[in-house]
Amino acid sequence: MYNEKSNYAVWHRLVDISAISLFFAGILFLLWDMPGAPQRLPVWGMLTLLLSAYLAADFVSGLVHFLADSFGRVETPIFGRLFIYPFREHHADPLAITRHSFLETNGANSLISLPVLGAVLALTDAQADLFFRLWVCFFLLAIFLTNQIHQWSHQAHPVAPIRLLQRCGLILTPKGHAIHHTAPHDTYFCITSGWLNPVLTSLRFFPALKATIVFSCGICAKISGKAGRDSQTPSNTMLP
């Protein structure tokens, strides 16, 4: 397990620095490689790209949050520390995220975005796939901001511009996110804008997805603490 003083190891810091640096280098190259995009796209088209990318990021944030909360083990080498532990720690100590540095807050999202960014740069054409590239750029920037937005939702006194965005409902609000922190923590997983939370909750999307995964794969869900029918996998580790 990790404690407050030692949980941000040197190797983890180096991974975060490298991931954030590579992420922004890739985004800048992506933008540089598609000149003229604003002139070729009307305002309504640009707004449509922005909105759809933002909604997609909200959905992906909820999906990743759900998976990390429900499956996997903290002790899994590297992956468990980078991606599982922060979510499990967050339920044990919701304010821990407010004590994380910029690097620790945003490194994991940068790292997980790099394969997508690399694939887009390698497999698409700057001219033929211009609008798709622009959409991916918006989407990945929203993904990058997700944990930062999440951190702001837990801060007692975020700066005035952030409070304004929260009051306007443009980013995750403390009130909306508090629903997720009400036991049993099994709803309102989306943490970018939070706009999709009521929709996915009314559809019972995540309970249905969890039941499907457990039934299909025999994966042991953290909340139930039981192995799948044909699995000998031990129950996942809970934070104290």
pLDDT of residue 223: 44
- Percent of the chain topping pLDDT 90: 60
Grouping H, G, I as helix, E, B as strand and the rest as coil, residue 204 is coil
List of residues 6+ apart from 32 with CB closer than 8 A: none
pLDDT tens digits, one per residue of 97-146: 999 999 999 999 999 999 999 999 999 988 888 889 999 999 999 999 99
pLDDT of residue 38: 61
* Residue 53 or residue 184, greater confidence: 53
pLDDT tens digits, one per residue of 155-212: 999 999 999 999 999 999 999 999 999 888 889 999 999 999 999 999 999 999 999 9
* Residue 83 or residue 170, greater confidence: 170
Range list of H helices, 33-129: 37-40, 43-70, 79, 85-92, 102-123
pLDDT tens digits, one per residue of 7-49: 788 988 999 999 999 999 999 998 887 766 666 778 888 899 9
Residue type, 115: P
Q: Is the pLDDT of residue 225 over 50?
A: no
